[in-house]
Amino acid sequence: MDVEDVFSSSLRIKIIKSLMRLGELNVSEIARRLRVNYETANRHLKILEDEGILQPKRFGRIRLYRLNEHSSKAKAVQQLIETWESEDRQQASRTLK
């Protein structure tokens, strides 16, 4: 999948940001937090998993997802989001002064 396709979904970005913040979540918890249905969350998680950005951990029927710490793609995405949000915070603080 092309990088444009991976980043074309705001839901996928929200999933990544949630996992950056919270560490590890199951499909139902991700769907609930992002206010989407289970099937939608599962479909986007599968795309991120197939790209190596997310790593699932299975406990019976439950799948927990987290960022894949061994993936250069996951590290690059995390760095991009952290840099972007840091710049936004700095800009907002300059605007408030």
pLDDT at 75: 95
For residue 64, the enclosing domain spans 3-96
pLDDT at 51: 95
* pTM confidence score: 0.86
For the chain, the domain total comes to 1
pLDDT at 62: 93
For the chain, list residues with pLDDT below 50: none
Angle CA 17–22–25, to nearest 5:
95
- CA separation for the pair 79, 92 (Å, rounded): 20
Whole-number average pLDDT of the chain: 92
pLDDT per position as a tens digit, 20-34: 999 999 999 999 999
Output the domain CATH number for residue 47: 1.10.10.10
